[in-house]
Amino acid sequence: MEQIGLNVAEFLAYLGIGLLGLGLAGSAIGLSLGGSAVTGMSDERRTQGLAVSVLPGTQGLYAFAVGFLCLQELGGDEPRFLIVFASGLVTGLSCLFSGWFQGQVCAAGIKSINQGRMPMGQVLLLAVFPEFYAILGFALSALLLFQ
């Protein structure tokens, strides 16, 4: 069997890209939490619940975008392997937890909308707070990759 010619830095870079899958998982978890909450809504409020339930999907988009940037970095003349690792780690973890907990906030908000205790605008405002940390992870990775 032919040996793979990777050094430790290259290995870490590809591990970092793999860690971006955590961001995708965060979106999937958050979307399933929000989507499950929508299934119990009344017909007249379901459209509002659907609008709230899709919010955790953005974390997967951030992870995908950083993955694309990381692959471009690896294809360059002098790839910075440890920067790729750091970018994957930061974005993967921030999007995992942000998407997961945003899904919990969205599910609770959807329940509140359904019970008439909270308007959709307030639920959206609360759901933005976990999203902010995914945005920070994305922005930090972009800063690292574009320096």
The answer as to whether 137 is a domain residue is yes
The answer as to whether 5 is a domain residue is no
Rounded Cα–Cα distance for residues 17 and 67 (Å)? 6
Percent of the chain at pLDDT exceeding 70 = 96
Averaged over 36-50, what is the pLDDT?
A: 96
Tens of pLDDT along 81-92?
A: 999 999 999 999
Query: Tell me, what's the pLDDT at 4?
Result: 66
Query: Tell me, what's the pLDDT at 137?
Result: 98
Averaged over 12-39, what is the pLDDT?
A: 98
**25's tokens:** 């998982």
The answer as to whether 61 is a domain residue is yes
Query: Tell me, what's the pLDDT at 1?
Result: 45
Its domain, for residue 57, covers 15-146
Averaged over 10-18, what is the pLDDT?
A: 97
Question: Domain with 116 in it: what CATH number?
Answer: 1.20.120.610
The answer as to whether 8 is a domain residue is no
Total domains present in the chain:
1
The answer as to whether 3 is a domain residue is no
Averaged over 110-125, what is the pLDDT?
A: 97
Asked whether the predicted pLDDT for residue 74 surpasses 90, the reply is yes
The answer as to whether 2 is a domain residue is no
pLDDT band at 3 (very low <50, low <70, confident <90, very high): low
Rounded Cα–Cα distance for residues 3 and 45 (Å)? 59
Asked whether the predicted pLDDT for residue 62 surpasses 80, the reply is yes
